[in-house]
Amino acid sequence: MATALTPFIYVLAGKSNAITLLTGISYEKLNVHHQYVGVAAFVLSLIHIIPFLHQDLVEGGASLLYSNFQNDFAYYSGIPSTIFLGLLCILSKAWVRKHVYEIFLHSHWLFGIAYFGTLIWHINKSLGADNYMWGALAFWATQILYRILMKTAFKPTSMFLRSREATLSKLGDNAYEVTVANAKGYKWGPGQHFFLRFVGSRILDNHPFSIASMSRDDESASEMKFIIVPQKGLTKKHYQELEQHITCKKKVFLDGPYGGTFREPTAFDRVVLLSSGSGVTATLPFLTYLARNINQLKSQGKPIVTRGISFIWVVRKSEHINWIRQELMECQELAGEYIQIQIYVTEHETIEKKIELDSNEKDSSTSMLEKTIGNNDSESSELLLPKEFTVDFAKPAIPRIVNNLRLSRRNMIVCSGSESMKKEVSSATSKLQALIFNNDIHNSHVEEIYLHTESFGW
C-alpha cells in the first residue's frame, strides 16, 4: 500500500501538477495533502516491516533476524527506502522549514530521488508493484518538464537562458524592495508568486516571493515588484548589503508564476482584502486588478459587478505605509468611492488616532494633506494621504472586523499575513456561513462567502 501511495506523493509534490491543472487548486494548497500522503506511506511501511521482524524473533530469535538482514534481499533492500522516507517526513516539519529552510529545500529533492531509486531496487519487479513506480515517474517527469519549459529561463522566448536585472532598494526599517523592470514573456494574476534565483554565491537558493504588482496587457510595460522582510540566509545577506549601499543591482532568474486563486475576483459583488505586514504583497494585486477593472468599465459605460472593495492592512510601524503608498493612491484614483482603505498601526497600542483628511483644509485640486506619522523613538515619515484613507493607531480586533462586514450577495475575502491573523479570519468567516445556510431565518440576501488565504511572516 505504501508503494501504491508513492505516485500520489510525487504528483502532489510538483509546483506544476496535473491536479492543479484539472482543479485550479494551487500547489501550496495541495501541499498539506502531499505531506499527509507521505506520512501515511511511511506508517504503512512500518506496518509492512513489523510482522517480518516479529516472526523472525519468535521463530529463530535475534540470530535468525540478523541472518535474514545479511542474506535475504527482501530484508536488506528495504532498509534504505524506509530510512529516506522517514527523513523526508521528519525534515518536512514546520520547525525545520522555518529555521533551516535551505537544508530542508536541498535535502528534500535529494532524498526524494534516493527514495524513488531505492524503492524500485527493493520492489525488484515483484507482484507487478514496479508499475506504480513507472506511473509515478511518468507524472513526475512530465511535471518537471512542463515547469522547465513554461515557467523558467528555459521557456522558449527571446529571454531563453538569460537572466534579468533586478534592482534592490532599501525600504527603511527591516524591509527591502526587489524590482524587475523587464517582465517580457510573463503574465500573472493577483495573489500569485514567483521563485527568484539570484546569480552569485548562493545561486542554488530559490525563494518564493509574492508579487506586489500586476502585469499589463503590454508585456514591455509590466514591472515586477517584490517587498521582502529579511529572515535568514539569502534575504538577510541582501539586507546587510543594502545597509551599506541603499540600492544595488543583481542578476536574477525567474520561475513562475504560481499560486493565486482560480476564482475571478471581478465576479464578486463585494471584495474584502485583509493583510498584515509584508502579507500586503498578496492583497495589493487584487486591489490593483479590481481598480483597473472598475476604471475600464466606467470608461466604457458598462455595468460594474463589484460595488465595494474594503482594503484593510495592519502594520507595526507607520513608515511601513510608504512601501505601497503610491500604489494605494493610484488605485484610489482609478476606482474612487468603490474603494475604502483602512490601515492600522500597532506600534501605539494605547493610542487610538484616526486621520481623516478634510478636502477643504487643502487645495481641492489635489485633495491631499501632508501628515507626519511616527513617534519620538523612530524616524518620522512624510506621507501624502488621500482624504479617503483612514489610519488608526490601534491593534484591531480581527474577528470583530470580519463580523461587522457589510456583505453583499456574493462576497470574496482574501487574507494574507501572520498565522494568527489567518486563523482568526478563517474562524470568523466560517461563522458567517450561517447567513447562507439559514438564509430564511436571518432574512439574509447572502449567497456566497468565498475565502482565499495566504500565509506570510512579518
**Final residue before a domain boundary, out of 226, 259, 292:** 259
Answer yes or no: is 159 within a domain: no
Q: What pLDDT score was predicted for residue 369?
A: 37
Q: Can you give the CATH number for the domain in which 175 is found?
A: 2.40.30.10
**Final residue before a domain boundary, out of 88, 121, 151:** 151
Answer yes or no: is 389 within a domain: yes
Q: What pLDDT score was predicted for residue 355?
A: 44
- 381 and 282 within one domain: yes
Q: What pLDDT score was predicted for residue 370?
A: 44
Task: Kindly give the pairing relationship between strand 175-180 and strand 164-172.
Answer: antiparallel
Q: pLDDT confidence of 156, banded at 50, 70, 90?
A: confident
Cell of 303: 455595468
Q: What pLDDT score was predicted for residue 376?
A: 36
Q: pLDDT confidence of 387, banded at 50, 70, 90?
A: low
Q: Can you give the CATH number for the domain in which 292 is found?
A: 3.40.50.80
Question: Residue 426 is inside which H or E element, if any?
Answer: helix 419-432
Answer yes or no: is 156 within a domain: no
Cell of 201: 554565491
- 41 and 124 within one domain: yes
Cis peptide before 285 (omega within 30 of 0): no
Q: What pLDDT score was predicted for residue 112?
A: 95
d(CA 456, CA 135): 35
More confident residue, 219 or 369: 219
- 289 and 351 within one domain: yes
- 254 and 182 within one domain: yes
Q: What pLDDT score was predicted for residue 390?
A: 86
- 132 and 245 within one domain: no
- 238 and 217 within one domain: yes
- 47 and 93 within one domain: yes
> How many residues are there in the chain?
458
Strand pairing partners for 343? 313, 391
- 87 and 15 within one domain: yes
Answer yes or no: is 355 within a domain: yes
Answer yes or no: is 312 within a domain: yes
Question: Residue 46 is inside which H or E element, if any?
Answer: helix 27-71
Q: What pLDDT score was predicted for residue 181?
A: 87
Least confident range of 185-189, 353-357, 452-456? 353-357
Strand pairing partners for 373? 381
**Final residue before a domain boundary, out of 151, 184, 213:** 151
Q: What pLDDT score was predicted for residue 24?
A: 83
Answer yes or no: is 451 within a domain: yes
Q: What pLDDT score was predicted for residue 244?
A: 86
Answer yes or no: is 91 within a domain: yes
- 287 and 413 within one domain: yes
Radius of gyration of the chain (CA): 26
Query: Quick check: 458 and 277 in contact, CB under 8 A?
Result: yes
- Strands, DSSP E only, in 347-423? 354-355, 368-373, 381-386, 389-392, 410-417
Answer yes or no: is 157 within a domain: no
pLDDT tens track for 48-104: 999 999 998 999 889 998 998 999 999 999 999 999 999 999 999 988 888 888 788
Least confident range of 62-71, 218-227, 232-241, 282-291? 218-227
CB under 8 Å to 31, separation ≥6 — which residues? 12
- 341 and 245 within one domain: no
CB under 8 Å to 363, separation ≥6 — which residues? none
The dihedrals phi and psi of 168, each to the nearest 5 degrees, come to -100, 130
- 280 and 254 within one domain: no
d(CA 350, CA 69): 67
Query: Quick check: 312 and 401 in contact, CB under 8 A?
Result: yes
More confident residue, 56 or 357: 56
Tell me the CB-side half-sphere exposure of residue 392, using CA atoms within 13 A.
Answer: 14
- 277 and 180 within one domain: no
Return the SS3 of 195: strand
d(CA 37, CA 2): 9
Q: What is the number of domains present in the chain? A: 3
Domain that holds residue 379: 265-455
Q: What pLDDT score was predicted for residue 428?
A: 94
Q: pLDDT confidence of 384, banded at 50, 70, 90?
A: low
What burial letters (b/e) apply to 187-213, b meaning 16+ CB within 10 Å? Answer: ebbbbbbbbbbbeeeeeebbbebbbbb
